[in-house]
């Protein structure tokens, strides 16, 4: 019953988890109990992960074999904490690069690792998941991300040789900022300059744009 409660409370607010537990298995608990056991389970899981990170750092055991081609993608999202504070939770997504039935390149078997921590601590903590997925043994790895500086360190830590891919939305944002800077400095650009540059970037690649 407690395991079921924790699983529910990891997906929804404690009050709803408490109500659903009663509906599903007939167990009555308070909202405070739901919160307490869920947080205790989370702390226990965190302790296990931190212990595994220390073991991997000191023993340097070889990762299991995983997919030959893998993709990694990191990002941060601000969440509202109890007490009104906002903090950034960092997430790393890992997946296998393959082709679907139509022959299109895609990613499958995605997994995610998240922590509320600074960039340096996150790099080390994510070792648990990158090791489990066999990222270090993959023959080809790409890193799709938004260009934030801390993400470069994340890639350097886990697969420095990964092909780094700036996602198109952020690439467009940076190109637009360049155009604004040119205009602010007195330069003249055609009204359709941005549209033309982004079209070339998407269909012809970055060389001409750069």
Sheet holding 69-80, edge to edge: 105-115, 86-99, 69-80, 140-145, 163-166
Is the confidence at residue 142, as pLDDT, over 90?
yes
Model pLDDT, residue 32: 95
Find the length of the chain: 210
Alpha-carbon distance values, 33 to 2, 29, 40, 44, 114 (Å): 10, 6, 10, 16, 25
Q: What is the mean pLDDT of the chain?
A: 93
Q: Considering only CA atoms, which of 174, 95, 104 is closest in space to residue 135?
A: 95
Question: Tokens for 93?
Answer: 């997504």
pLDDT digits (tens, 9 = 90+) for 91-103: 999 999 999 899 9
Is the confidence at residue 61, as pLDDT, over 90?
no
Q: What is the mean pLDDT of residues 125-142?
A: 95
| Contact by Cβ (8 Å): 91, 125 | no
Neighbours of 186 (CB within 10 A): 6
pLDDT digits (tens, 9 = 90+) for 172-201: 999 999 999 999 999 999 999 999 999 999
Is the confidence at residue 131, as pLDDT, over 80?
yes
Q: What is the mean pLDDT of residues 24-42?
A: 94
State what percent of residues in the chain have pLDDT above 90.
85
Query: Comparing 62 with 150, which gets the higher pLDDT?
Result: 150
| Contact by Cβ (8 Å): 154, 74 | yes
């Amino acid at each position: 019953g407690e395991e079921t409660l924790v699983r529910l409370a990891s997906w929804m607010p404690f009050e709803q988890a408490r109500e659903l537990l009663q509906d599903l298995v007939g167990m009555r608990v308070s909202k405070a109990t739901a919160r307490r056991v869920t947080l205790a389970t989370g702390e226990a899981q965190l302790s296990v992960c931190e212990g595994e990170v220390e073991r991997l750092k000191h023993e340097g055991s070889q990762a299991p074999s995983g997919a030959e081609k893998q993709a990694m993608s990191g990002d941060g999202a601000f969440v509202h904490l109890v007490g009104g504070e906002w903090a950034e939770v960092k997430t790393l997504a890992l997946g296998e690069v393959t082709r679907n039935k139509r022959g299109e390149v895609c990613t499958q078997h995605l997994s995610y690792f998240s922590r509320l921590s600074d960039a340096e601590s996150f790099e080390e903590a994510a070792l648990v998941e990158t090791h489990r997925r066999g990222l270090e043994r993959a023959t080809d790895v790409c890193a799709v991300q938004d260009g934030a500086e801390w993400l470069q360190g994340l890639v350097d830590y886990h697969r420095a040789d990964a092909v780094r891919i700036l996602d198109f939305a952020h690439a467009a944002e940076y190109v637009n900022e360049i155009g604004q800077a040119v205009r602010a400095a007195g330069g003249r650009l055609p009204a359709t300059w941005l549209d033309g540059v982004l079209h070339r970037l998407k269909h012809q690649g970055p060389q001409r744009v750069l």
